[in-house]
Amino acid sequence: MPRYFTKDHEWIEVEGDAATVGITEYAQSQLGDITFVELPAAGASVGKGDSCSVVDSVKAASDVYAPVSGSVTEGNAALEDQPELVNSDAEGAGWLWRMTLSDAGELADLMDEGAYKAYVAEL
Amino acid sequence: MNEINPSGWRPSISASGVAAPSIETFTDNRALQLEEALIFEIGNLEHCGVDFDDDDLDETLLGGLPSRRSAPVDLPGLTEPEAVRHYTRLSRQNYAIDLGLFPLGSCTMKHNPRLDEKVARMPGFADVHPLQPQSTVQGALKVMNELAQWLITLTGMHGVAMTPKAGAHGELCGLLCIRAALEARGDAREVILVPESAHGTNPATAAFAGYRVENIPATADGRVDVAALTARLGPDVAGVMITNPNTCGLFERDLKTISDAVHAAGGFVYCDGANFNAIVGRVRPGDLGVDAMHINLHKTFSTPHGGGGPGSGPVVLSEALAPFGPLPFTARQADGSVRLVEEETAAEEGHAQAFGRMCAFHGQMGMYTRALAYILSHGADGLRQVSGDAVLNANYVLRSLDDVLDAPFGAAGPCMHEALFSDDGFAEGFSTLDLAKGLIDEGFHPMTVYFPLVVHGAMLVEPTETESKRSLDQFIGAMRSLAERARAGDEALKSAPHLAPRRRLDETLAARKPKLVWKG
């Protein structure tokens, strides 16, 4: 399944018109220990670039933006009790929400893994 | 010092010729470093510090309220000396501006002159009630009026709303003035622009006031991107909120250009004046086109703060916004008396368009007296020296450390009242947090860390004008030592503090699983 990345350090994995969104390993390493994750409600309609979630760490509260437009289908309920999953497995079990895509064409604006790695190396 | 103590002898804090054995004391006290239990652990639910005569608990004295609760409230019972000692012991574990330098950037923790405290405690100011007849509190009203005139003069503005209770409350007051002015001309605008270099409360205030917040990026030198800001202006933009000097400790030198562009587009300029202490007596925000700006009396004009208050955040207003400022306010009358203008008399004072009130009464009287005492004891020339010394001290810290700590905007020239450093150059695995915890071992309150967000591993140091060179040199020496340890990868720093009553606390666990009640 193809995975895309944003300059704001979100990842999105797409399967058909459904997708899973999270923050990258680089993002979690910069935020430090995550203490709380505020998730979008199922059914919420989001636009590309909208703030959908807030990740609180010991350093800061950071917005997480929707990489593409669509509709939220579920938030990762496991994070309510175990926000540390975002630290231990940011690009796996620490996913934030699932959504359906309204315009798959928006994926073309995102980076693939190679481009994202090169982008992070520049930071 | 050597002339007083020519031999230089003093008992050493560590070496007495004998290596200190590891001692476990029965009490867990370490000499005068006292362990203190929670008050519930000391107290006893069955005991009471005061003897009541049951017959004296007369319901008539309580206005008919029942004199006995139906169930105990589980308050701990302590004798009076136990209660006094408990809080005195706790106070010894605190760090305060009266104990040492408090370099918390953005907070302006400076010495509070004792003269101001004395004035604030005078019975004529301290014991007045807000509902007293105005004729009996003319002195207090004159203090408010005179302070208002000083604030207007120092900022070059047209009017001032004195009542807001602190900085963010002042921000809200300023935005409500902007909203009232826009509504008065039938102009519905929805957007407030907030640059990245602004205070963190600004976007929160704009959202609370019902506006949509849009961010404006910063330039590489830490200031507002003027081109990006002016490009975004339009008929939907109610105004901008800009912090000057900004959170990178830099003066927004393009503020006049920005103000002119915002005004030309029909918007208003809100300036966060929390850092006014860096420019007081030198720059009048009114000359830069600012329409509203709060002044943190508790920062710029001393007065104790921290620990949640009290604060005071009067908002100075331009000619365009002044008519919409909140009630009440003071107005000098022809006979020399001062009147507190409320709803009934607002129209007589040309203030019929006031948007409402920010609080029930007059604001923080105790802060007004302290601030006016501070202003009058310094005088206009003294206030000018306050800002000069605050900036000088910050630059002294910046330049004394920029060879061991990365100063991201150091090359851009002098800073204002705050010196900003990053963690660039630390050994792998060492962070700003480690250095901050190391400062506790050195006997200092840590500086502000991880703010502003635009700088990686930010450390924001605000020494203030009240620190002497000797005090600054001691702090700089401690910072230099810690920076060198972080660069060299001294593992001991990663578990600092080692000498505090408690070692490094698990802040993550505290945030994830907070225990908010005693027991359970």
- What fold is seen in the domain B115-371? Aspartate Aminotransferase; domain 2 (3.40.640)
3-state SS of B45-61 is CCCCCCCCCHHHCCHHH
For residues B269 and B238, what is the distance between their CA atoms, to the nearest angstrom? 9
- Give per-residue burial for B203-232: e unless 16+ CB within 10 Å, then b: bebbeebebeeeebebbeebbbbbeebbeb
Chain A residues whose beta carbon lies within 8 Å of the beta carbon of residue B512? 35-36, 83-84
Structure tokens at A60: 């800061």
* SS3 at position A36: strand
Could you tell me if A94 and A88 are in contact, meaning their C-beta atoms sit under 8 angstroms apart? yes
Could you tell me if B464 and B390 are in contact, meaning their C-beta atoms sit under 8 angstroms apart? yes
**Residue A22 CA from chain centroid, whole number:** 3
Rounded to 5 degrees, φ, ψ at A38 are -95, 125
Residues 6+ apart with CB under 8 A from B57: B67, B68
pLDDT at A20 over 60: yes
- Provide the Cα torsion B83, B86, B92, B98; round to 10°: -30
For residues B187 and B236, what is the distance between their CA atoms, to the nearest angstrom? 9
Encoded amino acid at B19, one letter? A
B428 at interface of A, judged by CB pairs closer than 8 A: no
Structure tokens at B86: 């408990």
Is B512 within 8 Å of A83 when comparing Cβ atoms? yes
Strands A34-38 and A51-57: antiparallel
Structure tokens at B512: 């994830």
pTM for the whole thing? 0.88
Q: Least CA distance to B454: which residue of chain A? A: A60
Q: What pLDDT, on a 0 to 100 scale, did the predictor assign at position B286?
A: 97
Residue corresponding to tokens 């010991």: A58
Is B508 within 8 Å of A58 when comparing Cβ atoms? yes
Could you tell me if B315 and B174 are in contact, meaning their C-beta atoms sit under 8 angstroms apart? yes
For residues B23 and B388, what is the distance between their CA atoms, to the nearest angstrom? 50
Chain A residues whose beta carbon lies within 8 Å of the beta carbon of residue B450? 59-60
Q: What pLDDT, on a 0 to 100 scale, did the predictor assign at position A61?
A: 86
A7 at interface of B, judged by CB pairs closer than 8 A: no
**Mean per-residue pLDDT over chain A, rounded:** 94
The percentage of residues in chain A with a pLDDT greater than 90, rounded to a whole number, is 88
A58 at interface of B, judged by CB pairs closer than 8 A: yes
Q: Can the peptide bond before residue B414 be classed as cis, meaning omega within 30 degrees of 0? A: no
Q: What pLDDT, on a 0 to 100 scale, did the predictor assign at position B1?
A: 47
pLDDT digits 0-9 by tens, B237-271: 999 999 999 988 899 999 999 999 999 999 999 99
* SS3 at position A67: coil
- pLDDT, average across residues A69-95: 96
In 10 A of CB A1, how many CB atoms? 9
Q: Least CA distance to A60: which residue of chain B? A: B450
For residues B273 and B209, what is the distance between their CA atoms, to the nearest angstrom? 19
For residues B97 and B110, what is the distance between their CA atoms, to the nearest angstrom? 7
Identify from B215, B456, B508 which residue to disrupt to test chain A contact, counting A C-beta atoms within 10 A and taking the largest count.
B508
Is A19 or B412 the better-scoring residue by pLDDT? A19
* SS3 at position B464: coil
B450 at interface of A, judged by CB pairs closer than 8 A: yes
Q: Least CA distance to B458: which residue of chain A? A: A59
Looking at the domain covering B383-512, what would its CATH class be?
A: alpha beta
Q: Round to the nearest angstrom and report the end-to-end CA distance of chain A.
A: 27
For residues A53 and A86, what is the distance between their CA atoms, to the nearest angstrom? 13
Q: Least CA distance to A34: which residue of chain B? A: B508
* SS3 at position B395: helix
Is A58 within 8 Å of B512 when comparing Cβ atoms? no
**CATH 2.40.50.100 fits domain A3-106:** yes
Structure tokens at B266: 């029909």
DSSP per-residue codes, B402-446: TTTSB-TTGGG---SS-EEEB-TTPPTT--HHHHHHHHHHTT---
List chain B domain ranges: 39-92, 115-371, 383-512
Q: What pLDDT, on a 0 to 100 scale, did the predictor assign at position B60?
A: 64
Q: For residue B150, is it left (φ>0), alpha (ψ between -120 and 50) or beta?
A: alpha
- DSSP secondary structure code for residue B501 in this structure: S
| Closest alpha carbon to B355 in B212, B164, B504, B89 | B164
Q: What pLDDT, on a 0 to 100 scale, did the predictor assign at position B200?
A: 81
For residues B479 and B436, what is the distance between their CA atoms, to the nearest angstrom? 9
Rounded to 5 degrees, φ, ψ at B330 are -100, 150
Structure tokens at A34: 């995550």
Of B449, B450, B508, the CB nearest to A35: B508
Structure tokens at B332: 């000098």
Q: What stretches in chain B show pLDDT beneath 50? A: 1, 520
Could you tell me if B198 and B167 are in contact, meaning their C-beta atoms sit under 8 angstroms apart? no
